[in-house]
A and B are shown apart, each in its own frame.
Chain A
Amino acid sequence: MAEALFWPALLGYGEAALAYASPRFSRLGTWGVRGGWLAQTALLGLQAARADGFPWSSWAGSLNLFVWLLVSTYLIWGCQPRFRLLGLTVMPLVVALFVAARVGGGTVAAGRPRYGNLFLVLHVGLVLAAFAGFTLAAGLAALYLALERRLRRRAADILRLRLPSLVTLERLTARTIGISWPLLTAGLVAGVVRLRERGGGVDALMAATIAAWAVYAAFLALRPAGPRAAHLALAGFAFVILARVALAGSHF
Chain B
Amino acid sequence: MRLSLVGISHHVAPVELRERVALPLDRAASLARELGDAVCLSTCNRTEVYLAGEDEQRALSSLEELAGEPLRSVAYRMHDDAAAVHLFRVSAGLDSLIPGESEILGQVRAAYDAARPGPFLDRVFRQALSLGKRVRAETAIGESPASVPAAAAALAQQVFGDLTDRPVLLVGAGRVGELAAGSLSARGARIAYVANRSAEAAGRLAARFGGEPVGLDDVPARLGEVDVVLAATGSPAPLIRAADVPAARSRPLFFIDIAVPRDVEPAVGELDGCYLYDIDDLEAVVADTLAGRRAEAERAERLVALEAERFRAWRASLDVVPAIASLRAYAEEIRTRELAKLGTLGEGERRTLDAVTTQIVNKLLHLPTVRMKEAAAQANGAHLAQAVRHLFGLEERKDGA
Contact = CB atoms under 8 A, between A and B. Distances in A.
Interface in A152-168: 152, 154, 156-160, 162-168
B159 A157 contact: no
B250 interface: yes
Most B CB contacts (10 A, CB to CB) among A156, A157, A163, A164 go to A156
24 contacts: A147-B158, A154-B281, A156-B281, A156-B284, A156-B287, A156-B288, A158-B155, A159-B144, A159-B145, A159-B155, A159-B289, A160-B288, A160-B289, A160-B292, A164-B161, A165-B159, A165-B160, A166-B159, A167-B161, A167-B251, A167-B252, A168-B161, A225-B273, A226-B272
A211 to B, nearest CB: 27
A185 to B, nearest CB: 26
B129 interface: no
A227 B273 CA distance: 8
Nearest to A164: B161
Nearest first, the 10 A-B pairs at minimum CB distance are A165-B161, A156-B284, A156-B288, A154-B281, A168-B161, A151-B275, A166-B159, A157-B288, A167-B160, A225-B250
Interface residues of A, number: 20
B140 interface: yes
Contacts of B183: none
B193 interface: no
Nearest to B154: A159
Contact of B158 (A23, A156, A158, A227): A158
Contacts of B269: 152, 154
Contacts of B143: 162
B396 to A, nearest CB: 57
A166 B251 CA distance: 10
A154 B272 CA distance: 15
Contacts of B144: 159-160
A226 B157 CA distance: 16
A154 B277 contact: yes
A45 to B, nearest CB: 36
A168 to B, nearest CB: 5
Nearest to B277: A154
Contact of B275 (A23, A152, A163, A225): A152
B151 interface: yes
Contacts of A166: 158-160, 252
Contact of A158 (B140, B276, B285): B285
Contact of A226 (B160, B273, B284, B292): B273
Interface string A162-179: 111111100000000000
Contacts of B292: 160
Interface string A225-244: 11100000000000000000
Interface string B218-233: 0000000000000000
A10 to B, nearest CB: 29
Given A159-B158, A165-B160, 9 more contacts: A156-B281, A156-B285, A159-B144, A159-B154, A160-B144, A160-B289, A162-B143, A164-B161, A167-B161
Interface in B122-177: 140, 143-145, 151, 154-155, 157-161
A162 B154 contact: no
Most B CB contacts (10 A, CB to CB) among A152, A162, A167, A168 go to A167
Nearest to B299: A24
A86 to B, nearest CB: 15
A170 to B, nearest CB: 9
A167 B277 CA distance: 18
Nearest to B227: A167
Interface string B268-300: 010011011100010011011100100000000
A225 B145 CA distance: 29
Contacts of A160: 144, 288-289, 292
B152 to A, nearest CB: 11
Contacts of B154: 159
Contacts of A165: 157-161
A243 B287 CA distance: 47
Contacts of A164: 161
A35 to B, nearest CB: 22
A23 B143 CA distance: 13
Most A CB contacts (10 A, CB to CB) among B154, B160, B277, B285 go to B285
Interface in A118-157: 147, 151-152, 154, 156-157
Nearest to B144: A159
A225 B249 CA distance: 9
B214 to A, nearest CB: 26
